[in-house]
């Protein structure tokens, strides 16, 4: 056993003594020692209950003959960090989480790991660590939140964000917004739509590193606790069979996950995280693969913010396993890919069934014929950018407008809420990329303001930053290279005409090559926004969004 390095033999008597100081018996020390990585905290709704999930995981490990040893991981709540300097730290914590899990698992050689994440950067950070370490590992999330209810209709966190714009536009009163605020988030769990947290939990299941149900079983359902116990027991089987993360997360598995991503219409952040996770597995995922799979995979689900359904509806309709079975005939699912069940995908989905054909539509009745995400390229984004095309109004799929340029998110929000952005404008927010931010802030504030002001069908937004999974509308992010690297987005000027053609995967700044050269010659790097602490180091190490914003090798 790997843990013998810290517990077996004469020389390890001091180590055993330290275990005994914590109350471990000789019998417990002699068993396989399983690290339980728990990201519980009291600042994220999706994590507030994870101590219960961890206790259930540990019960499962003990039932199967192992000794669980719990240690923590940090986590940022993107919703609470949104709209201020705190959001600069969110993406950057992904690398901290991966590094800290690696550090703990190397300093204390656990035989296997159970990862308990539930929200945005925590999930990919732990996935990166699991593939980097490549010791037996399984993921069990804390599960999604129920949707809120107001006057008989479902609402969620995005209802609150967009409500701010509606108050500014005079569409609802402050009293009405207070009512929305009070019931949009009814309890624990990752926010109830197909936002980044739920997108990544679903991707984890589709990738094969989470048990069936990992992405969709609700946080408040007893089935979530049973799933946690099952994960604890299952890790002992994975250890016995020596099934490691890289045995599961192969190129075929990543393609399966991307196909599910497209059919679901997941967060644009998946385009940032999936390549970063693959990088840790030694797999180079070009952004073109997303478009390639999208062409074969129709968008069959419209969950909030793209539609009215929520994760609870998707779970009741059959969840990830039913969706994988639905799209399997298209040839986009490799049924031989191994999963943490110990069985291949084909066996897992055999008994799955779609129980609601409106939530998971049939192949001949898709919401759109291509997948939910699209990668665009052009002279403003030669390395690519991403849009959730399933959440774009039809009239905005092909669009041309006047650039309104801002060098920071905060300035753009003031202009939007101040009524300075008009129909037909294209808001450009730059110097918000991985280096320029630094930290690549999510732009839920401006996109929600645009939607709340009733401009989401007439105004597009471009940024070298990124978007929350809760964003809807013609919001195009991850423009690469970023402005801080001298990318073409740094050369856009107020009033320039920008043409967007999502069906043709093109985005074009309508200036002549000669004008481009002139502007490039005149461009001067902007002083770093933060020059001390972790983010200053992060800005020096991080690479382009087009490569997953991983650190330089």
| Numbers of helices and strands, H then E, in the chain | 21, 14
Say whether 294 is catalytic: no
Residue 305: is the preceding peptide bond cis (ω within 30°)? yes
Joined together, the tokens standing for residue 518 give 């002139």
For 62, the 3-state DSSP assignment is helix
For 133, the 3-state DSSP assignment is helix
- Among residues 3, 468, 544, 546, the one annotated as catalytic is 468
Residue 481: is the preceding peptide bond cis (ω within 30°)? yes
Rounded distance between C-alpha atoms, residue 199 and residue 372, angstroms: 12
Rounded distance between C-alpha atoms, residue 53 and residue 55, angstroms: 5
Residues found in the chain: 553
Q: Residue 267: name the closest of 487, 420, 472, 405 by CA.
A: 472
- Output 98-103 pairs: Cβ under 8 A, ≥24 positions apart: 98/125, 98/126, 98/128, 98/129, 98/132, 98/280, 99/129, 100/73, 100/74, 101/37, 101/73, 101/125, 101/126, 101/129, 101/130, 101/133, 102/129, 102/132, 102/133
What are the start-end ranges of the H helices in 389-487? 409-417, 444-452
Rounded distance between C-alpha atoms, residue 82 and residue 99, angstroms: 24
CB 449 within 8 A of CB 160: no
Rounded distance between C-alpha atoms, residue 190 and residue 467, angstroms: 17
- Quickly count: other Cβ atoms within 10 Å of residue 168's Cβ: 16
The one-character DSSP state at 478 is: E
- Residues assigned a catalytic role: 468
């Amino acid at each position: 056993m790997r843990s013998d390095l810290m517990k077996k033999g004469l020389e390890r008597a001091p180590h055993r003594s330290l275990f005994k100081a914590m109350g471990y018996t000789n019998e417990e020390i002699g068993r396989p020692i399983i690290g339980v990585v728990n990201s519980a905290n009291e600042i994220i709704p999706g994590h507030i209950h994870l101590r219960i999930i961890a206790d259930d995981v540990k019960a499962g490990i003990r039932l199967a003959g192992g000794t669980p040893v719990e240690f923590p991981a940090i986590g940022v709540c993107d919703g609470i960090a949104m709209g201020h300097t705190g959001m600069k730290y969110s993406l950057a914590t992904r690398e901290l989480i991966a590094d800290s899990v690696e550090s703990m698992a190397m300093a204390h050689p656990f035989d296997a790991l159970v990862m308990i994440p539930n929200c945005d950067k925590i999930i990919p950070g732990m996935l990166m660590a699991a593939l980097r370490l490549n010791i037996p590992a399984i993921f069990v999330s804390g599960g999604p939140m129920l949707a809120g209810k107001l006057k008989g209709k479902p609402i969620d966190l995005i209802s609150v964000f967009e409500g701010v714009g509606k108050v500014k536009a005079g569409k609802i009163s402050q009293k009405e917004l207070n009512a929305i605020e009070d019931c949009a988030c009814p309890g624990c769990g990752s926010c109830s739509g197909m936002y980044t947290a739920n997108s990544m939990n679903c991707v984890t299941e589709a990738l094969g590193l989470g048990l069936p149900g990992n992405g969709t079983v609700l946080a408040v359902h007893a089935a979530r606790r049973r799933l946690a116990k099952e994960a604890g027991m299952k890790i002992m089987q994975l250890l016995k069979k020596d099934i490691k993360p890289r045995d599961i997360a192969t190129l075929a598995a990543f393609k399966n996950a991307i196909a599910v991503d497209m059919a679901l219409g997941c967060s644009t952040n998946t385009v940032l995280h999936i390549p970063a996770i693959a990088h840790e597995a030694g797999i180079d995922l070009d952004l073109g693969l997303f478009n390639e799979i999208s062409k074969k995979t129709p968008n069959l689900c419209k969950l909030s913010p793209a539609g009215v359904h929520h994760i609870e509806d998707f779970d009741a309709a059959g969840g990830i396993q039913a969706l994988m079975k639905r799209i399997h005939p298209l040839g986009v699912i490799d049924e031989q890919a191994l999963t943490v069940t110990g069985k291949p995908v084909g066996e897992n989905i055999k008994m799955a069934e779609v129980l609601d054909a409106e939530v998971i539509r049939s192949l001949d009745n898709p919401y759109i014929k291509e997948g939910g995400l699209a990668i665009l390229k052009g002279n403003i984004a030669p390395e690519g950018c991403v849009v959730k095309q399933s959440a774009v109004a039809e009239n905005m799929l092909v669009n041309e407008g006047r650039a309104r340029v801002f060098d920071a998110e905060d300035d753009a929000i003031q202009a939007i809420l101040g009524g300075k952005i008009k129909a037909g404008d294209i808001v450009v927010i730059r110097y918000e990329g991985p280096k320029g931010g630094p930290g690549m802030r999510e732009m839920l504030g401006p996109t929600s303001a645009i939607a709340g002001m009733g401009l989401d069908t007439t105004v597009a937004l471009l940024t070298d930053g990124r978007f929350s999974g809760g964003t809807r509308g013609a919001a195009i992010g991850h423009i690469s290279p970023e402005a801080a690297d001298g990318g073409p987005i740094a050369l856009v000027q107020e009033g320039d005409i920008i043409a967007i053609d999502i069906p043709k995967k093109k985005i074009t700044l309508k200036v002549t090559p000669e004008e481009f050269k002139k502007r490039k010659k005149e461009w001067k790097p902007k002083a770093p926004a933060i020059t001390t602490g972790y983010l200053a180091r992060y800005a020096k190490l991080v690479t382009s969004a087009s490569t997953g914003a991983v650190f330089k090798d």
